[in-house]
Amino acid sequence: MTREARRGGSSGAPRSVDVARLAGVSQKTVSRVFNDEPYVSADVRRRVLDAAEELGYRLNSAARALASGRTRSIGVVTLGTALYGPASLIMGVERAVRDTGYTLRVVNTMEGDPAGVAGAVDSLLDQGVDGIVISEPIDDGYDGDLSARLDVPVLVLGAPPFPAPKALAAGVGADLMAHTATEHLLELGHDTVHHLAGPQRWYAAQDRLEGWRAALTEHDRTVPPVVEGDWSASSGYAAGRELASDGNLTAVFAANDDMAIGLIRALTEAGLRVPEDVSVVGFDDIPVAAYVTPPLTTVRQPFDAVAQEGLKRLVHTIENPQADPLPASDPPIDLVVRASTAPPPTRQARPGRRTASRSSRGRRSPPLNGGTNAHN
């Protein structure tokens, strides 16, 4: 009988229930066999192992795990990219893992592959990892159910959690950081804030757009049309050339620093001064942000803190499977105020810009209450 027929035509990775059905035993007996528990007859043990081998169940990984109780390894699913944010987060995970006594096994996915996450998860499970970190920043369109495969604790970074029995989330809160960046510009007196967004297939781009829009809506400000880039400085430059023709433009929140830097270059070439004419805020606080002209106001992402807390919670769940998960802390919001933001210019014509009438700019509200966690 073929493997597919043995499963009754089911698809996906084989599970312990499939092994139990084929061996003619209970699922608990399968668990006892793979946990090397006593009081299992030699005949039953042989039937279970034979069924597991026929189905392609993770027999080899289980055998390796039995030798030490656990493989003491953590798998990471990540998009293969050199972009600063995802790369920094993975570096933070690598540093955090060193302190846990676990080894790290990384599987890269490719953008545009709908089955990339599912395939990566299966690969790591086949290696017998004790837990999985999913740092997959893109909505890849995969609509399958991974919950049957995810029989180990899973930590999801910066994205919605997968429907797994032991799913944890960390690195959320980009919407609150974007909200703070937008409010900083409103507090300076700008009537509204334009947004240079990242590609909307990325969860981070969606969150930052949501936080920007929420801040404007809460304060009854006009929500300008969104300009979308691709995270690169060149796309920020292209957006800046487009936005420079808007005579009502006084403030822009860019979804990352690279796009903000390209934007500033285009505005400068169009004869607009930053921040005297247009204020710009970025996101990430890349190393060069403090050294561009003008130094860039930005939101600093706590990559190491997110990784350390996330790994601590993941390891706790691995080693204490019956205990409640450790609670997640609120993400820190660190707005680094530099020289690229200032109050809006006075209402007067400037070279290359048309005069903006009061009626076309929307209502000006008094300064907002509250401050931000700002550092020079």
Q: What is the pLDDT at residue 374? A: 38
The mean per-residue pLDDT over the stretch 83-87 comes to 89
pLDDT beyond 60 at 2: no
pLDDT beyond 90 at 114: no
**Cα dihedral across residues 265, 269, 274, 278: positive or negative:** negative
pLDDT beyond 90 at 5: no
Phi, psi at residue 312, to the nearest 5°?
-60, -45
Q: What is the pLDDT at residue 127? A: 85
d(CA 27, CA 15): 10
Q: What is the pLDDT at residue 145? A: 61
Taking only the tens place, the pLDDT of each residue in 251-280 is 999 999 999 999 999 999 999 999 999 999
pLDDT beyond 60 at 356: no
d(CA 127, CA 129): 6
Judge contact between 20 and 30, C-beta under 8 A: yes
Taking only the tens place, the pLDDT of each residue in 134-167 is 887 787 665 556 665 678 999 999 887 767 778 8
Selection from 251, 278, 197, 246 nearest residue 360 by Cα: 246
Judge contact between 259 and 235, C-beta under 8 A: yes
Element (H, E) at 258: helix 257-269
What string of DSSP letters covers 287-305?
GGGGTSSSPPEEEEP-HHH
Q: What is the pLDDT at residue 58? A: 63
What string of DSSP letters covers 219-256?
TT---PPPEE--SSHHHHHHHHHHHTT-TT--EEEESS
Q: What is the pLDDT at residue 257? A: 98
Taking only the tens place, the pLDDT of each residue in 7-55 is 444 456 677 788 889 999 887 788 778 766 667 888 888 898 888 888 8
pLDDT beyond 60 at 69: no
Judge contact between 343 and 304, C-beta under 8 A: no
Taking only the tens place, the pLDDT of each residue in 292-314 is 999 999 999 999 999 999 999 99
In the structure, what pLDDT confidence band is assigned to residue 74 with cuts at 50, 70 and 90? very high
pLDDT, mean over the chain? 83
Q: What is the pLDDT at residue 364? A: 32
69 or 95: which leads in pLDDT: 95
Most confident stretch, 74-88, 93-107, 291-305, 345-359: 291-305
Q: What is the pLDDT at residue 60? A: 47
The mean per-residue pLDDT over the stretch 311-336 comes to 92
> What percentage of the chain carries pLDDT values higher than 90?
52
241 or 60: which leads in pLDDT: 241
Q: What is the pLDDT at residue 246? A: 96
